[in-house]
């Protein structure tokens, strides 16, 4: 209990607002100048460094606070598979948002760099997969979930996941990250290791980078036959069709991911890792293991400010669609 007294919800929320503002200003500037170098600066300087400094100022153990506990190799492999099977689930929810937004006008491509050759592919894997996987998990599944534990573990998972989605500041890429955040958050609690979230995050982003690289190579092979279609965003009808197709695979993938998750749950119960109380998928059980404390609404003022900024940017994004 003493450890939790040093990490207050208000402090976590203030840090979230500060990092979000730096992302929208400094991060946007450096990425505009050079997207790759800018992404590295964003992840390590604007996202990771504030967490380390915050914990040092609070005098907290980085290892304990961030759950830097060993992860079984078996579980690491299962998490990679769970993430891959969950990819269509996250994509499905993003497609829902994109389909709705397409009714307001023509969608724009997300500003995500795509590898043109194998060297670029390796560089982007290091930046988008490895760097983002480490830095963002340290912030959200590490510090933020730990700080929100006083609200109950289930609430900590949900709130940190929603704020993770908001942190992308793009309506097209809001729901997918929230879904992934829920999955990574539960995996971190179930294994009591932040490495579970890091592996999952790296796998998801790595698959996205690989998919983009593969499509780029396919475009080169097929030449101009797909050049025009590759540059154009799909319309509402095409998005609806894609949503139904991806939804089918999301059901299959989600089922497979759940079955693999059950293996991890069974292992952690039988092994009683780190002498933790057995956890189940039942939210009520999660709450019982982490008593809910009363936190004033005022403590979430920084979060409300961030949400207002997100809504304003979302409104401008929709307005731009019809321009």
Q: Could you report the per-residue pLDDT of 220-249, keeping only the tens digit for each? A: 888 755 554 445 667 888 899 999 999 999
Q: What is the pLDDT of residue 189?
A: 95
**Tally of domains in the chain:** 1
What is the SS3 assignment for 190-259? HHCCHHHHHHHHHHHHHHHHHHHHHHHHHHHHHHHHCHHHHHCCCCHHHHHHHHHHHHHHHHHHHHHHHH
Percentages (nearest 5) of helix, strand, coil residues in the chain: 80, 0, 20
Task: Tell me if 4 sits within 8 A of 143, measured CB to CB.
Answer: no
Using DSSP, state whether 175 is helix, strand or coil: helix
Task: Tell me if 189 sits within 8 A of 153, measured CB to CB.
Answer: yes
Q: Could you report the per-residue pLDDT of 22-45, keeping only the tens digit for each? A: 999 999 999 999 999 999 999 999
Task: Tell me if 44 sits within 8 A of 130, measured CB to CB.
Answer: no
Domain range for 277 is 2-321
Tokens of 59: 């005098």
Least confident of 69-73, 118-122, 199-203, 216-220: 216-220
Measured distance CA(195)–CA(197) in Å, rounded: 5
Give mean pLDDT, residues 70-82: 97
Q: Does the structure show a pLDDT above 70 at 277?
A: no
């Amino acid at each position: 209990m003493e450890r939790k007294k040093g990490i207050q919800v208000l402090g976590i929320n203030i840090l979230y607002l500060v990092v979000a503002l730096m992302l929208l200003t400094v991060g946007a500037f450096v990425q505009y100048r050079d997207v790759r170098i800018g992404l590295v600066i964003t992840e390590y300087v604007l996202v990771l460094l504030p967490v380390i400094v915050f914990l040092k100022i609070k005098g907290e153990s980085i290892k304990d606070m961030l759950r830097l506990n060993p992860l079984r190799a078996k579980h690491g492999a299962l998490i990679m598979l769970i993430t891959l099977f969950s990819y269509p689930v996250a994509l499905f929810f993003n497609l829902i948002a994109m389909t709705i937004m397409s009714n307001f006008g023509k969608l724009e491509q997300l500003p995500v760099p795509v590898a043109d050759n194998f060297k670029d592919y390796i560089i982007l894997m290091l930046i988008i997969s490895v760097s983002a996987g480490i830095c963002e998990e340290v912030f959200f599944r590490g510090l933020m979930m730990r700080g929100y534990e006083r609200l109950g573990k289930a609430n900590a998972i949900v709130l940190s996941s929603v704020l993770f989605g908001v942190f992308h500041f793009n309506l097209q890429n809001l729901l997918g990250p929230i879904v992934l955040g829920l999955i990574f958050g539960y995996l971190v609690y179930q294994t009591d290791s932040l490495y579970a979230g890091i592996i999952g995050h790296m796998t998801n982003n790595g698959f996205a980078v690989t998919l983009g690289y593969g499509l780029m190579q396919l475009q080169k092979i097929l030449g101009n036959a797909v050049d025009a279609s590759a540059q154009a965003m799909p319309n509402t009808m095409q998005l609806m069709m894609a949503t139904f197709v991806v939804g089918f695979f999301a059901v299959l993938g989600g089922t497979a991911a759940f079955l693999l998750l059950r293996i991890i749950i069974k292992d952690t119960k039988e092994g009683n890792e780190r002498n933790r109380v057995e956890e189940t998928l039942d939210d009520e059980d999660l709450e019982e293991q982490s008593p809910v404390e009363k936190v004033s609404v005022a403590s979430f003022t920084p979060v409300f400010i961030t949400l207002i900024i997100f809504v304003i940017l979302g409104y401008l994004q929709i307005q731009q669609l019809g321009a």
